[in-house]
A and B are shown apart, each in its own frame.
Chain A
Amino acid sequence: DVKVTQSSRYLVKRTGEKVFLECVQDMDHENMFWYRQDPGLGLRLIYFSYDVKMKEKGDIPEGYSVSREKKERFSLILESASTNQTSMYLCASSSVGQGVYGYTFGSGTRLTVV
């Protein structure tokens, strides 16, 4: 069964900490995405990557950065965590040329910043 795996289901971090959220996919997908999900705001795209070392800003990139050193791994970095970054974070992947199959999502990481 193909998978997108997010390393943590729940995280609690302190304000000002540097936080790493990790996502790994085993489908050899070119595209990977980071979304945050908040009640009433739906899914908002933070960043996406279409190839190793390539990235594009999404709708809300401020306060975040990403890293994609290997095709299967896409990391989201909160440089200095703040309480307004408390949210559910979802990673997804998709294949170029197979957009008809949609995105495959991970189970999510619920991050609480205190």
Chain B
Amino acid sequence: AQSVTQPDIHITVSEGASLELRCNYSYGATPYLFWYVQSPGQGLQLLLKYFSGDTLVQGIKGFEAEFKRSQSSFNLRKPSVHWSDAAEYFCAVGADNYGQNFVFGPGTRLSVLP
């Protein structure tokens, strides 16, 4: 079975600074990988996904993520953070195309200083 870790529970960055949120997964094959964002009191919104091809994927809101097979990682990045990016971010792993059995990481809460 697959598993996901997000080593950072809480990260604080200043507005305009760059951001990297870490995600490591455990799975025997190439998984389906996702990043979701959750604003306070809201549901989860898909930021981006990877399942094959170019290992650098672009998402919404100016986010990108890079799949590194050798490190079993799928880190999320943004070159310049905006105050509205303050939210909780979840990495998720899917093992197949049935759309079931996704595993979500514990989440990283991002705070943005003005």
A residues in contact (CB < 8 Å) with B: 4, 6, 29-31, 40-43, 48, 50, 90, 92, 94-108, 110
B residues in contact (CB < 8 Å) with A: 32, 34, 36, 41-46, 49, 51, 90, 92, 94, 96-100, 102, 104-107
Contact A99 B41 (CB under 8 A): no
Chain A residues with CB below 8 A from B99, complex form: 29-31, 94-99, 101, 103
Partner of B41, one of A40, A50, A110: A110
Q: How far is the CB of A31 from chain B (nearest CB, A)?
A: 5
State the majority secondary structure of interface residues on B. loop
Seed contacts A94-B99, A99-B98, A100-B97; 12 additional CB < 8 Å A-B pairs: A50-B100, A97-B99, A99-B32, A101-B49, A101-B99, A102-B92, A102-B102, A103-B92, A103-B99, A103-B102, A105-B43, A108-B42
Contact B44 A105 (CB under 8 A): yes
Partner of A107, one of B43, B94, B102: B43
Chain B residues with CB below 8 A from A96, complex form: 98-100
Chosen A-B contacts, 16 in total, with CB atoms closer than 8 Å, are: A42-B90, A42-B105, A42-B107, A48-B100, A90-B44, A92-B44, A94-B100, A94-B102, A96-B99, A98-B97, A99-B99, A99-B102, A100-B51, A102-B34, A102-B36, A102-B94
